[in-house]
Structure formats: structure tokens, C-alpha cells
Chains A and B, each alone.
Chain A
Amino acid sequence: MNAIINTRDLGKRYRGRPALTECTLSIPAGSVTGLVGPNGAGKSTFLNLVTGMLRPSTGTIQVLGSAPAAQLAKVGFVAQDTPVYAGLSISDHFRLGAHLNPAWDRGYASARITRLGLDPKQKAGRLSGGQRAQLALTMAIAKRPSLLILDEPVAALDPLARRGFIDDLTEAARTRQMSVVLSSHLVSDLERACDWLVVLNDGRVRAAGPIRHLLAAHPGMTTEDMVLTYLEMTS
């Protein structure tokens, strides 16, 4: 099994307060991994360590076989609250993408925006939360990453849009051969899309593995109940 993310005793402290503790994980390439846990569980911290936006306090992390930030071009990241430039139009964002990414897929970006019914001349600041998330996702995919990271991408979306976004993402992951790691505090967002699951609580990994295996260990439970069981565990 080829690991796309490998961590050993990974930890991160903010001013002495632990946000992530002794996280040892190996996420296989080709998987769509859901990172689930309540607010403040350490999901964002973990994802920011994967993208190299944060540096670990302890332990080691390897992404695509090297240090996190070393593979910028191969990792797409949709950060929390899906930041975009309010003053730039959608097509400005695509020009930005084309200038800053050698493998930029122009055709894909414009086709996807057309399919979503968005006007390329629209300023990003005037997009709805869902449209902004779509723009951020389009940019992350168009750089042709091997690994796509999304931090609470559907948090600002209504339930119907959530489902559409996740299905769309799963489809893109399959056709463009990306591994995906996305986080949510709602199991329902993830169970449709993911084949792998990491349950985080209080900065610690409570469970990690293929969903099928985790469910097999809890006969008769729904994914949601199973996750709750893990979250209620104390170390």
C-alpha cells in the first residue's frame, strides 16, 4: 500500500496548548478520506500540517514521500472559509492560477465554471458561500494535484448544495485520479464520498481505517453511530 500521507507521533501546540497529539497515521494513495470530529478536535491543524501551512511541534510528517511544503504543485488545498480575492473576478482567479501553476488546466477550470452556471466576469466578493467554495475547489483541482485537501469545504453550504458539492468532488477525484482528504464535523457529509475515515477528538486520533473495516467491527451500526462510539471513547 502506497501512503500519500504518513505521520509519526505528529503533534502541534499553540502557545503551549496542544492542538494535535501523537498522531500516527498512514493514509493510502487513491483514497477519499474523511476527517471527522467535533469543532476544535484538531482537524484544521492536521490539514494545515499536511499542506505545510503549519510546521509541526513534534513528530514527523511526509506528504507524497517528502516534507509537506516541498510538493506545493502536487497538493491542492481548499482552506477553511474558502478564501478567494473579493476584488478579483472568477476569470482573474483563473489567470492567477495559470500564472502560478505550471500544470494549470485552463480548459477544465472554464468548463467547470460554465457547467456550474457562473459568470466568469463576476467578482468573487459577490459570490454566495456555495459559489465561492466551488471557485476555490475549481482552482484547487485545476492545478492538477495528486492530493486534494479540503478543510470544511461544505460548512457554508445548505444541505442540498452539500450533497451536490460532495458528489461532484467524488466524481472529480475518480476521473482525475486524485487522492482526497476532506474534513467535516458532520458524518453525513462524508459517508457518501469517503472510503477511508479518520476520527479525531481532543487532538487525538480515535480511529483510522477503511470505513468498511471500521463498520465490520461494529455490526449493525450506522456510520454515524460508529463515529459517535469512537468519539465517546476516552483515552
Chain B
Amino acid sequence: MTWLTWRQSRIQFVAAALALAVLALVYGLTGSGLNHLYGLYGAHPAVFLAQVRTGRYPLLYFAGGAIMYLAPLVIGAFWGAPLVARELEAGTHRLAWNQSVTRTRWLVMKLAIGGGAAMLFAGLASLLLTWWAGPIDRAGGFPLGTSQLSKFQPIVFGTRGIVPVGAAALAFTIGVCAGLLLRRVIPAMAVTLGLFAALLVAMPLTVSPHLITPAQYTRPVTASLTTMAVSGNGQLNDPVKDMPGGWILTDQIITKSGSVFVLPDVPACQTGTQAQCDAWLAAQPLRQHVVYQPASRYWAYQILETSIWLAIAAALSALCLRRIRSVQ
């Protein structure tokens, strides 16, 4: 089975190895430069980050993130989805399943070898890019406007550490299951892409924030149009600066009664100057309410999210193994 799996998927194996080699070359070479830069300016993050914003570093930083997002999608659609669907489409499952190996064992081996290789590939890619972005992450994250993309931000979180390993396993298994249920390669690929992308978006929006009860604080602030951003609906926003590496879930300016403060129609702010409005705001008893996951929970979160992806992958694998017994 090992030989057969290799023989049937060798294009994918070779493509993955090549992709990894190119990544290693590009990020290996530029990574040492980045580390050198951090060695020089690391003590002054602002200086270091100003350097990072120049040259090829922004492109490499965001391309790396995009690659880590695309990798599981490609693995699921081009590796997982055709695995069984191609056999069912061509009728070759009738050849494969009439050798001396049961179809259950056939699928177990395909899942184990294919899934294992997908996880290995994603793991190595993540190791490489996590190492590359290490200096930037240690400096608080890539500078973006007045804030930074810390490694705990949802958009970055899934591209670092061990989460990509779980994501690759899940995408691969979704592909295999879709192929087994739909019996055709192209629809299975489409469903895999759609379903996995949906999970990828839904996770940080709905599940992740509540995996561990978030920490929160409320403290008095002096609101000011000079230091705060005003959103279209009149809410004030004061970016949290003193929480490097944390994941801010909610950051609101609230009134004494606890409701969200909206800039009112007072003459000072309606027709007055900015200074007049600031003076009026300073007299209000406003507070800042922040709900967040502290930076210290980063690895707990990495383990939790990876475990969730792996658990869904395992459940789907079990479903496939049940289902394959009744495939005709």
C-alpha cells in the first residue's frame, strides 16, 4: 500500500517537496538578513520595524502568510479530494478493492500516508516561516498603520507554530470525505475549498475567542479627539498600546452606566473647535473597556486550535471509514 500510495500521488509528493525547497531557499536566505538586522536594532523595536518596512521584507512577510493560508487549501483540493474520487470516477476502485487488501485497510493506509505527508509538509513550511518572522513577531508584529500585527492576531495566528499542521490534516480529510461522498473529482475539489475556507473564517470569529474565558479590564480614561480615532457612528477608539502580543477582542469607550459611548450632539463637538470638544470630553466620566486574551495564552491557544482541527479530521476519517464499506 505504501508503494501504491506513493506511485499514485508522486506528482503531489514531488510538487510539495519542490515547493518546500523553493520556500527554504527564499526564506532561508532572506531570514538570516532579517536576523542580522534584529541583532543590530532589536533593542529598539521602532528602529528595527522601520527597517523591516523597507525593501523586500513587506512582500516576503505577507507572501509567507498567504502561502500558509493557501497550502492547506491546495492540499485539500489537489491531494485529498482526488484520492478516492478519482478511483470512483474511473472505476479503478473495483480493481483496487479486489486485491487481497480490504477496502478499509486501503483507505486507512491512504489516509495515514497522505495525511501524514500533508502534515509533515505544512509543519516544515510553518517551521520555516515562523522562524523567518521570529524577529518581527518578537518586536511586537509587523507595523500596520498605528498598530501592529502581533502573532496572536487571528489573521497571523493560523500561519504560525503548530496550527498549520492541524489545518493541513483537516483540509486533506475534508477532501477525502468530499471525494468519497460526491464520487467526482471536480465537485469534491470545489466543496473542499468552500468548506475549509468557511471553517477558516468561522473559527476566529465564533469559536476561538471563547476557548478560554477572556480577561478584561475597565479603567477611567480621558477621551480626546486628538489621541483617539472616531468611527463613522461616533464611537471613540483608543488603541491598546500596553499589551504587546495580546489578542484584543473588544476595545470600547463606555459611559458610567456601561453603555458604549457615542459622540453626542453637544455644541462643543458639533460646531466648536477640536480643542473645545476635547475640553468637553475631558469632563465626561468615561472609561475604557478592554476584553482580551493575554499574550501568555499564545501556546495554550496554539495547542487548543490544533487539537480542534485534528479532532474534526479524526471524526471525518472515522466517517469515511464507515462510509466506504457501503460504497458500490
* A positions within 8 Å CB-CB of B: 48, 51, 53-55, 69, 72-73, 75-77, 79, 81, 83-86, 88, 92, 95-97, 99-103, 136, 139-140, 143
Given A54-B328, A96-B4, A100-B4, CB of A83 within 8 Å of CB of B94: yes
Contact A97 B99 (CB under 8 A): yes
Which residue of chain B has the shortest Cβ distance to A92 in the bound complex?
B7
Partner of A72, one of B3, B8, B100: B100
List 4 tightest A-B contacts by C-beta distance, closest first: A100-B99, A73-B100, A79-B94, A77-B98
State A99–B3 Cα separation when bound (angstroms): 7
What are some 26 contacts across the A-B interface (CB < 8 A)? A53-B97, A53-B98, A72-B102, A75-B98, A76-B98, A79-B91, A79-B95, A79-B98, A83-B90, A83-B91, A83-B95, A84-B92, A84-B95, A85-B92, A85-B95, A86-B90, A95-B3, A95-B7, A96-B7, A96-B99, A99-B3, A100-B101, A101-B99, A103-B100, A139-B95, A143-B99
- Asked if B314 is an interface residue, CB under 8 A from chain A, the answer is no
Interface centre among A76, A95, A99, A101 (most CB of B within 10 A): A99
CB distance from B3 to the nearest CB of A (A): 5
User: What's the least CB distance linking A133 to chain B, in Å?
Assistant: 12
B4 CB contacts on chain A under 8 angstroms: 96, 99-100
Binary contact track B83-109/A, C-beta < 8 Å → 1, others 0: 000000011101111111110000000
Docked CA distance A54–B102 (Å): 14
Question: In the bound complex, how far is the Cα of B3 from the Cα of A38, in angstroms?
Answer: 41
Contacts of B90 in A (CB 8 A): 83, 85-86
User: Which residues of A have CB within 8 Å of B97?
Assistant: 53
Judged by a CB distance under 8 angstroms, whether B326 is at the interface is yes
Closest to A135 in B: B95
A-B contact count (CB 8 A): 64
Instruction: Assess whether A72 is in contact with B98, with CB atoms less than 8 Å apart.
Output: yes
Residue of A nearest to B103 (CB): A69
Residues of A within 8 A of B1 (CB): 99-100
The reply to whether B98 and A88 contact each other, CB–CB distance below 8 Å, is no
Give the contacts of B95-149 with A (CB-CB under 8 A). 95-102
Other A-B contacts than A72-B101, A100-B99, A143-B100, 19 sampled, CB-CB below 8 A, are A48-B328, A53-B98, A54-B328, A55-B326, A72-B99, A72-B102, A75-B98, A76-B98, A77-B94, A77-B98, A96-B4, A99-B2, A99-B3, A100-B4, A100-B96, A100-B100, A102-B100, A140-B98, A143-B99
Give the residues from 1 to 39 in chain B that come closer than 8 angstroms, CB to CB, to chain A: 1-4, 7-8
Question: CA separation between A72 and B104, bound complex, in Å?
Answer: 12
B23 to A: closest C-beta gap in Å: 28
Task: Report B-chain residues with C-beta under 8 Å of the C-beta of A101.
Answer: 99-100
B290-328, CB < 8 A from A: 326, 328
Cβ A69 vs Cβ B94 within 8 A: no
Report if A88-B100 is in contact (Cβ < 8 Å); known contacts: A53-B94, A55-B326, A136-B95: no
Chain A minimum-CB-distance residue to B92: A83
Q: Known contacts A84-B95, A99-B1; is A69 also within 8 Å of B7 by CB?
A: no
Select the residue from B8, B98, B101 with max chain A CB neighbours within 10 A. Answer: B98
A97 — which chain B residues lie within 8 A by C-beta?
A: 99
A54 to B325 Cα, complex, angstroms:
9
The answer to whether A69 and B102 touch across the interface, beta carbons within 8 angstroms, is yes
Considering the chains assembled together, what is the distance between the CA atoms of A107 and B92 in angstroms? 24
A9 → B minimal CB distance (Å): 21
Contact status A53-B99, CB under 8 Å: no
Closest B residue to A102 by CB, please name it: B100
Closest partner residue, chain B, to A71 (CB atom) = B100
On chain B, the residues within 8 Å of A83 by CB distance are: 90-92, 94-95
Report chain A residues within 8 Å CB of B92. Answer: 83-85
Separation of A48 and B95 alpha carbons in the complex (Å): 12
Name the CB-closest residue of B to A101.
B100
Q: Do the beta carbons of B98 and A51 come within 8 Å of each other?
A: yes
Nearest A residue (CB) for B106: A100
Q: In the complex, A81→B102 CA distance in Å?
A: 22
In Å, the complex CA distance between A95 and B1 comes to 10
With a cutoff of 8 Å between Cβ atoms, the chain B residues found around residue A103 in the complex are 100
List the B side residues contacting A92 at CB < 8 Å.
7
Residues in chain B near residue A139, CB distance under 8 A:
95
Cα distance A114–B139 when bound, in Å?
A: 69
